[in-house]
Amino acid sequence: MDWGVIFRADNLALFGNGLLTTLWLLASSLAVGGILAFVMALALTAPSRMVRLPVSAFTFVFRGTPLLIQVYLIYYGLGQLEWIQSRWDEVWPWVYFKEPFFCALLAFSLNTAAYTAEMLAGAIRETSAGEIEAAQAYGMSRTKTLYRVVLPSAMRRTLPAYSNEVVMMLHATSLASAVPSMLDVTSAASRIYATYYLPFEAYLAAAAIYLVASFCLIGFFRVAERNLLAYLAPRKN
């Protein structure tokens, strides 16, 4: 093995740029997906069946199909339609479909939104009846109870499952390498492999980067869980 190639300044810079793209894609998709998930979770727990069904269908499709296929459908499907291409120089929002990063961001955001919405909706449904009764005893309306009691409690209880989703999304960003001209960590490893024919060194270096990033994310969420979920821990005598 020739690890000296990996530690050359130009290849380290390549991995550095790839890591920045990966982290920016992860943060952006989690932010956009989180907003969508919040709205969809409210729809999934709404009393009206007409509100729940379309969102349930959306989450079923995006949770039931591979993320890579979703990336392909958005970039090679929607992004390559003549109707969209004829408008992507001047008509919003089609102007963004010529950007590889936007296509990857859209796919990842919709995917994580589907999973997060179901997690949050499940936590909302499992909210303790005692918490709701206490809020009603204070004279809170249904809307105030939802936003001041149910949602904060549900979001805290969703944190352990959501931490797994974030780590899985970090790993899933490697699929962005399927989009041409996207330089993420996996793409950087592929370029080094194509240049030097060193597959083990290139992809082991990429794996190490993902491992360190995962370790940092897991540590962050453990600290958050320890602080936000302390009230759920068994009391010591």
Q: What is the pLDDT of residues 42-59, one digit of tens each?
A: 999 988 999 999 999 999
Question: What pLDDT, on the 0 to 100 scale, is given for residue 91?
Answer: 64
Question: What pLDDT, on the 0 to 100 scale, is given for residue 146?
Answer: 81
Question: What pLDDT, on the 0 to 100 scale, is given for residue 88?
Answer: 63
Question: What pLDDT, on the 0 to 100 scale, is given for residue 231?
Answer: 58
Domain ranges of the chain: 9-227
Question: What pLDDT, on the 0 to 100 scale, is given for residue 156?
Answer: 87
d(CA 29, CA 106): 7
Q: Which residues of the chain have pLDDT under 50?
A: none
Question: What pLDDT, on the 0 to 100 scale, is given for residue 85?
Answer: 67
Q: Which residues of 74-107 are buried (b: 16+ CB within 10 A; e: fewer)?
A: bbeeebeeeebeeebeeeeebeebeebbbbbbbb
Question: What pLDDT, on the 0 to 100 scale, is given for residue 215?
Answer: 96
Question: What pLDDT, on the 0 to 100 scale, is given for residue 1?
Answer: 67
CATH class of domain segment(s) 9-227: mainly alpha
pTM, 2 dp: 0.88
